[in-house]
Amino acid sequence: MVNIRRDFTAVHKRNGARQVVGIVLHDTAGAGTMNDVRFLASDNDRGVSVDFCVTRDGQIFQLSPDLGNTTMFHAGRSTRFRGLVNASVNRGTIGIEIVQRADLSLSPIYPAAQVRAVAELCAHLCNAFNLTRGDITTHARIITDGSRSDPRQFPFSKFDEIFIDAMNGEGSGPVTHTVVAGDTLFSLARRFETTIEEIKRLNGINEASNLITVGQGLIVKL
């Protein structure tokens, strides 16, 4: 289950029941620190806010007091999504700001803990609001005047891996993987956050061997 913090509630918001039809991902292009979260929660003169912020250490902050009954201001200018335009995009979507420095100078650009938290939060929201992967979009994709490109360089392949696992309900059974070209025990251990020794043990692979073959089905985690 995702751990959602409620330390801050945004000032800029509009009350009223809403129907959530999607999720919009952003990056903050700010300091890349907790100050970005504080800014989005504050009475800032840009009038912006967001439903969630995910910090670089993987903490999730919900700035909306009530997701089903409050609209936050994250994508209301020059946007179009699912027949919604401008302000109504805000009403129909949950915004997630991924905390990021404006010049992308932090390394890695998106730490693993942050990508995981975004993916698990998205899975949690998809379950809660009956959405699917196709309902998750980005500010860059819904902007109509070309003025936004965020979330910049976000690793969507890694996001998808974690999102799919989370939607399938991790812990409900073993995690399996079919070996494709380029996979090694080392790369799989890293990707699934386990060890080479554990994968070998689960699959009865000889201690002295590191051989896996394309098409082979592996249990990578219990």
> What residue ranges bind Zn ion (CB under 5 A)?
26, 139, 150
Whichever of 75 and 125 has its CB closer to Zn ion, that residue is 75
CB of 79 to Zn ion, least distance (A): 10
Whichever of 101 and 191 has its CB closer to Zn ion, that residue is 101
CB of 86 to Zn ion, least distance (A): 14
Report the residue closest to Zn ion, judged by CB: 26
**Cα 102 to Cα 149: distance, rounded to the nearest angstrom:** 12
CB of 97 to Zn ion, least distance (A): 7
Q: Which amino acid is at 153?
A: Q
Structure tokens at 42: 């504050």
Whichever of 139 and 177 has its CB closer to Zn ion, that residue is 139
Structure tokens at 168: 């399938």
CB of 50 to Zn ion, least distance (A): 9
Backbone dihedral angles phi then psi of residue 164, each to the nearest 5 degrees: -65, -45
Whichever of 142 and 188 has its CB closer to Zn ion, that residue is 142
Could you tell me how far CA 191 lies from the centroid of its own chain?
Answer: 17
CB of 139 to Zn ion, least distance (A): 3
Separation in Å, CA 119 to CA 32, 58, 75, 155: 19, 10, 20, 11
Q: In the sheet that 60-62 helps form, which strands lie side by side, from edge to edge?
A: 4-5, 60-62, 52-54, 93-98, 22-27, 136-138
Whichever of 139 and 200 has its CB closer to Zn ion, that residue is 139
